[in-house]
């Protein structure tokens, strides 16, 4: 690093006066090299709270239905922003937040799983854009991250690394959380620093509470051992991204609250937003969009299912806000709160419509598997105990897109739409009692998540370094908004900002916004066939944001020259930031899934003790990958336990024994379960077991036949009519000899991790 308060080109750290060295110890003088302090004496602590998939209008602080005591508490002690924006998607938003650069510039044009080789979509943060944690650490901050980290290539999630794209490789001294887009709140797949760890578990365990416990512990350690060092704490729990997991104690607080449906909720929220002064009096409520279902069209016998999904979500969101409050309580107890710059970012994008029609298995949508609501309700009743299972570990539920739309009041669209503020706009609340006077009037300057780093540097008194670790740094794209702290009416300093996610795109310039929706409707399987989509034919919209808070009035036909000027501006910004080709995020996610950044192996030899292998690096049992597995094993009488498995209760494939019987189950996302088993116990002693999964065709949706063999002789089989096309889960793993995390099969989930009681010598898997 070559930066200091004296200027960005001075050597760092400065060389202290050396000890006097003589020929002998007696002739020498010893002086400890104490590095000089590089921050002001009262430099603030910095704490960021980042919720996942919460909408602009979910929280009651800003007119929504969900109780949010912590957000309200912080707002009453600080200031709030009602024109603050994200990228419309999680990995890109987090990359922009942490680096202060635009998301494509740092290779995060799409989530880490769908990275490809186009420059803006490579999925690795470049050394030329050091994170704010990396910079603050070298200025004397203790740095720690807790929760969701969704910016590490999936090929690096093995014990072999590399670890340079883990949080600890990008500036954080400590990390505790999960490295994926989502995980179970009850059986999460966790990492501590770079090491896979198992959650403490126990009755009543919940990941968000665990994360808060760990963050509080870190604060105490910082105060006990390094009281002279300021703290940078990044707390991004992964809640309330799906799966929506919270106990009935929290969900029941909202029983009956949503029985009138999403349109009614949206109307109520809109009126409260105005009465609170959160949105302008002249703001308009935008109508329901094409392809969205109206509440009146939901059959009566499905409404209890749909409202319970929203009750679970609301309870989950309140629970999350309360965990933030526990951390704020600790900061106050430690005497740190007054001098803490606390940023509570309402969400990393708009509320998510990826649950589409409401579901017990959210990855059905990501796998483009269609099931009816009736079918899912039937499975819920048959296998999981009915509505009481929603929010529990048994299902990975996700609410109807109508609730997401209501959570983004008064805007159009939802998460994954960068053209409309329903996908990008989120509340931001800031408190710093030592420097910021409370003010109830919303700040309405247009700002973006890439402005966070610049604001922190401005507040702390750091000039962004010219080089870090010998690598010349990219200029920041962000603009500090510290100028708004004391002046609610200050003229906005953010003149231009582009947006692009999945071909949905737009550009802001000096109060105007031009945008186009692109091909994707998150609330439906696909808005158009990608093969038929031509970005050059997309229809653009134009909005005067000075007079149109909610993008309610499209002026494209009235002002074609203004629209063209902004389209030209988008082209310039997109070129500079590596956005092109438009739609590149679809390359691996939809058009060429065979080129996903994953293992290129076609053959594996695995041994006992090999666990927590990411699904991306393990043998695939999805998407038309026919395979033959052989298990060399010594079977004891009545042997039970898992031989190998991948995935979890929400979807996976497991091969196991139960009281001497040889079994396998193909679990298609918790909805369809295909089971093969031997007729009675198989012979004991040394055996070679065979597992053959033969797809009828080499395509992702082809049915398959699952066959079990002992010594080359078939002992059981089943047809897998609806296999998983792409992936079983977001974070569950491949394990040998046990089933860690949630259990793939309901037949043994109460006995998980169900370790094998015999002896596995080796497992060999190859594609055929």
For 513-539, the pLDDT digits (tens) are: 999 999 988 998 754 578 889 999 999
- The answer as to whether 714 is a domain residue is yes
pLDDT tens string 660-672:
999 999 999 999 9
- The answer as to whether 614 is a domain residue is yes
User: Is the model's pLDDT at 11 over the cut of 70?
Assistant: no
* Mean of pLDDT values over 118-139: 97
Q: How many residues are listed for the chain in this entry?
A: 768
Nearest Cα neighbor of 338 from 726, 94, 45 is 45
**C-alpha to C-alpha distance for 732 and 743, rounded to whole angstroms:** 10
The pLDDT, as a whole number, for residue 529 is: 78
Distances (CA, A) of 345 to 231, 245, 425, 427, 431: 18, 21, 10, 6, 12
pLDDT tens string 131-159:
999 999 999 999 999 999 999 999 899 88
| Number of CB atoms found within 10 A of residue 300's CB | 6
Nearest Cα neighbor of 485 from 81, 46, 168 is 81
Exposure of 229 by Cβ count < 10 A (0-12 exposed, 13-18 middle, 19+ buried)?
middle
Pairs from 719-722 (Cβ < 8 Å, separation ≥ 24): 719/674, 720/666, 720/668, 720/674, 720/693, 721/672, 721/674, 722/369, 722/668, 722/672
Q: Are 695 and 620 in contact (CB under 8 A)?
A: no
Q: Are 514 and 541 in contact (CB under 8 A)?
A: yes
Backbone angles phi, psi at 467, to 5 degrees: -145, 145
Q: Mention every residue, 6+ apart, whose C-beta is less than 8 A from residue 688.
A: 630, 631, 632, 633, 710, 711, 712
**C-alpha to C-alpha distance for 503 and 591, rounded to whole angstroms:** 14
Q: Are 47 and 316 in contact (CB under 8 A)?
A: no
Tokens 């996302």 sit on residue: 669
User: Is the model's pLDDT at 177 over the cut of 90?
Assistant: yes
Report the side by side order of strands in the sheet with 713-720.
603-606, 759-767, 627-635, 685-695, 704-710, 713-720
Report the side by side order of strands in the sheet with 641-648.
613-614, 733-736, 641-648, 651-658, 661-668, 672-677
Token reading at 581: 């080709």
The pLDDT, as a whole number, for residue 530 is: 86
The pLDDT, as a whole number, for residue 14 is: 44
Q: Mention every residue, 6+ apart, whose C-beta is less than 8 A from residue 734.
A: 613, 614, 615, 617, 618, 619, 644, 645, 646
Residue 598 half-sphere exposure toward CB, CA atoms < 13 A: 20
The pLDDT, as a whole number, for residue 17 is: 52
Q: Mention every residue, 6+ apart, whose C-beta is less than 8 A from residue 630.
A: 688, 689, 690, 691, 763, 764
Helix (H) or strand (E) holding 221: helix 207-225
Can you name the residues that pair with 543 across neighbouring β-strands?
Answer: 513
- The answer as to whether 652 is a domain residue is yes
Domain count along the chain: 1
- The answer as to whether 169 is a domain residue is no
Which of helix, strand or coil describes residue 460?
Answer: helix
User: What confidence tier does 12 reach under pLDDT thresholds 50, 70, 90?
Assistant: very low
The pLDDT, as a whole number, for residue 596 is: 81
* Mean of pLDDT values over 161-187: 97
Nearest Cα neighbor of 231 from 334, 300, 87, 304 is 334
Secondary structure (DSSP) of 597-624: SS---SEEEE-TT---EEGGGSPP-STT
The pLDDT, as a whole number, for residue 528 is: 55
Q: Can you say whether the dihedral through the CA atoms of 570, 572, 574, 580 is positive or negative?
A: positive
Can you name the residues that pair with 149 across neighbouring β-strands?
Answer: 179
| Residue 309 C-alpha from the chain's centroid | 20
Distances (CA, A) of 224 to 145, 217, 228, 716: 19, 10, 10, 61
* Mean of pLDDT values over 615-625: 92
Token reading at 387: 């509505």
The pLDDT, as a whole number, for residue 595 is: 82
- The answer as to whether 712 is a domain residue is yes
Pairs from 515-519 (Cβ < 8 Å, separation ≥ 24): 515/418, 515/419, 515/420, 515/540, 515/541, 515/543, 516/419, 516/540, 516/541, 517/413, 517/417, 517/419, 517/420, 517/541, 518/417, 518/419, 518/583, 519/583
Rounded to the nearest integer, the mean pLDDT of the chain is 95
Can you name the residues that pair with 337 across neighbouring β-strands?
Answer: none
pLDDT tens string 712-724:
999 999 999 999 9
**C-alpha to C-alpha distance for 651 and 387, rounded to whole angstroms:** 20
Provide the pairing of β-strand 174-179 with 651-658.
Answer: unpaired
Please give the residue that has the higher pLDDT: either 701 or 387.
387
Pairs from 422-425 (Cβ < 8 Å, separation ≥ 24): 422/55, 422/56, 422/350, 422/351, 423/88, 423/349, 423/350, 423/501, 423/504, 424/85, 424/86, 424/87, 424/88, 424/349, 424/350, 424/499, 425/56, 425/82, 425/83, 425/84, 425/85, 425/86, 425/350
CATH number at residue 726: 2.60.120.200
Exposure of 581 by Cβ count < 10 A (0-12 exposed, 13-18 middle, 19+ buried)?
middle
The pLDDT, as a whole number, for residue 526 is: 59
Q: Mention every residue, 6+ apart, whose C-beta is less than 8 A from residue 306.
A: 298, 358, 399, 400, 402, 403
Q: Can you say whether the dihedral through the CA atoms of 256, 262, 267, 271 is positive or negative?
A: positive
Q: Are 350 and 424 in contact (CB under 8 A)?
A: yes
Token reading at 626: 């026919």
User: What confidence tier does 18 reach under pLDDT thresholds 50, 70, 90?
Assistant: low
**C-alpha to C-alpha distance for 513 and 139, rounded to whole angstroms:** 38
pLDDT tens string 296-354:
999 999 999 999 999 999 999 999 999 999 999 999 999 999 999 999 999 999 999 99
In the chain, DSSP finds a helix count (H) and a strand count (E) of 14, 30
- The answer as to whether 745 is a domain residue is yes
pLDDT tens string 258-293:
999 999 999 999 999 999 999 999 999 999 999 999
**C-alpha to C-alpha distance for 507 and 278, rounded to whole angstroms:** 24
**C-alpha to C-alpha distance for 369 and 668, rounded to whole angstroms:** 10
What is the domain range of residue 641?
A: 598-767
- The answer as to whether 757 is a domain residue is yes
Backbone angles phi, psi at 211, to 5 degrees: -60, -40
The pLDDT, as a whole number, for residue 276 is: 98
User: Is the model's pLDDT at 10 over the cut of 60?
Assistant: no
- The answer as to whether 77 is a domain residue is no
The pLDDT, as a whole number, for residue 706 is: 98
pTM assigned to the model: 0.96
User: Is the model's pLDDT at 223 over the cut of 70?
Assistant: yes
């Amino acid at each position: 690093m070559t930066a200091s308060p004296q200027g960005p080109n001075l050597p760092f750290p400065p060389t202290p006066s050396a000890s006097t060295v003589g020929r002998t110890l007696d002739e020498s003088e010893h002086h400890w090299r104490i590095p000089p302090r590089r921050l002001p004496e009262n430099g603030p602590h910095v704490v960021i709270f980042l919720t996942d998939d919460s909408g602009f209008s979910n929280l009651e602080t800003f007119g929504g239905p969900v109780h949010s005591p912590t957000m309200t508490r912080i707002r009453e002690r600080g200031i709030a922003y009602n024109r603050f924006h994200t990228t419309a998607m999680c990995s890109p938003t987090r990359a922009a937040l942490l680096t202060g650069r635009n998301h494509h510039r740092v290779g995060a044009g799409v989530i880490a799983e769908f990275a490809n080789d186009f420059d803006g979509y490579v999925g690795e943060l470049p050394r030329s854009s050091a994170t704010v944690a990396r910079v603050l650490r070298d200025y004397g901050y203790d740095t720690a991250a807790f929760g969701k980290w969704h910016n590490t290539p999936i090929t690096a999630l093995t014990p072999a690394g590399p670890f340079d794209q883990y949080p600890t490789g990008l500036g954080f001294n400590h990390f505790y959380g999960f490295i994926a887009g989502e995980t179970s709140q009850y059986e999460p797949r966790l990492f501590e620093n770079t090491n896979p760890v198992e959650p403490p578990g126990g009755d009543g365990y919940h990941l968000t509470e665990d994360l808060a416990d760990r963050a509080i512990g870190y604060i105490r350690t910082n105060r006990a051992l390094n009281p002279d060092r300021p703290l940078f704490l990044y707390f991004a729990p992964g809640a309330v991204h799906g799966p929506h997991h919270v106990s009935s104690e929290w969900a029941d607080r909202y029983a009956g609250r949503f029985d009138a449906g999403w349109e009614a909720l949206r109307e109520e929220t809109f009126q409260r937003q105005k009465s609170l002064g959160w949105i302008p009096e002249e703001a308009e409520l935008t109508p329901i969009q094409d392809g969205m279902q109206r509440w009146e069209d939901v059959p009566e016998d499905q409404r209890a299912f749909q409202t319970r999904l929203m009750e679970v979500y609301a309870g989950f969101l309140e629970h999350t806000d309360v965990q933030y409050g526990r951390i704020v309580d600790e900061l106050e107890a430690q005497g740190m709160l007054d001098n803490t710059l606390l940023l509570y970012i309402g969400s990393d994008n708009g509320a998510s419509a990826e649950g589409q029609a409401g579901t017990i298995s959210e990855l059905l949508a990501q796998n483009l598997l269609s099931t009816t609501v009736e079918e899912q309700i039937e499975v819920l009743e048959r296998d999981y105990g009915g509505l009481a299972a929603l929010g529990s570990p048994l299902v990975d539920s996700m609410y109807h897109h109508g609730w997401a739309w209501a959570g983004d009041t008064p805007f159009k669209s939802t998460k994954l739409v960068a053209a409309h503020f329903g996908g990008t706009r989120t509340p931001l609340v800031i408190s710093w009692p030592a420097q910021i006077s409370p003010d109830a009037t919303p700040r309405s300057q247009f700002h973006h998540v890439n402005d966070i780093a610049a604001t922190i540097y401005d507040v702390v008194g750091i000039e962004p370094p010219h080089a870090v670790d010998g690598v010349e740094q990219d200029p920041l794209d962000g603009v500090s908004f510290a100028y708004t702290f004391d002046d609610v009416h200050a003229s906005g300093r953010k003149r231009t900002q582009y947006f692009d996610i999945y071909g949905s795109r737009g550009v802001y310039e000096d109060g105007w916004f031009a945008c186009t929706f692109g091909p994707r409707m998150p609330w439906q399987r696909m808005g158009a066939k990608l093969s038929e989509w031509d970005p050059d034919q997309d229809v653009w919209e134009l909005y005067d944001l000075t007079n149109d808070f909610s993008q309610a009035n499209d002026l494209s036909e009235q002002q074609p020259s203004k629209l063209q000027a902004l389209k030209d501006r988008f082209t310039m910004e997109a070129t500079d930031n590596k956005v092109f080709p438009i739609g590149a995020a679809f390359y691996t996610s939809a058009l060429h899934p065979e080129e996903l950044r994953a293992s290129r192996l076609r053959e594996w030899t695995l041994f006992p003790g090999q666990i927590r292998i990411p699904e991306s690096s393990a043998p695939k049992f999805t998407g038309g990958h026919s395979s033959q597995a052989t298990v060399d094993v010594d079977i004891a009488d009545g042997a039970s336990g898992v031989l190998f498995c991948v995935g979890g209760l929400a979807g996976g494939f497991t091969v196991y024994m139960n009281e001497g019987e040889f079994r396998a189950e193909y679990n298609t996302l918790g909805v369809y379960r295909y089971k093969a088993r031997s007729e009675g116990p198989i012979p004991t002693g040394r055996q070679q077991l065979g597992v053959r999964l033969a797809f009828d065709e080499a395509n992702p949706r082809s049915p398959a036949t699952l066959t079990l063999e002992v010594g080359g002789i078939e002992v059981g089989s089943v047809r897998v009519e609806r296999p998983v096309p792409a992936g079983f889960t977001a974070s569950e793993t491949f394990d040998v000899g046990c089933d860690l995390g949630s259990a793939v099969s309901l037949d043994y989930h109460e006995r998980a991790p169900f370790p094998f009681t015999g002896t596995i010598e080796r497992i060999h898997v190859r594609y055929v």
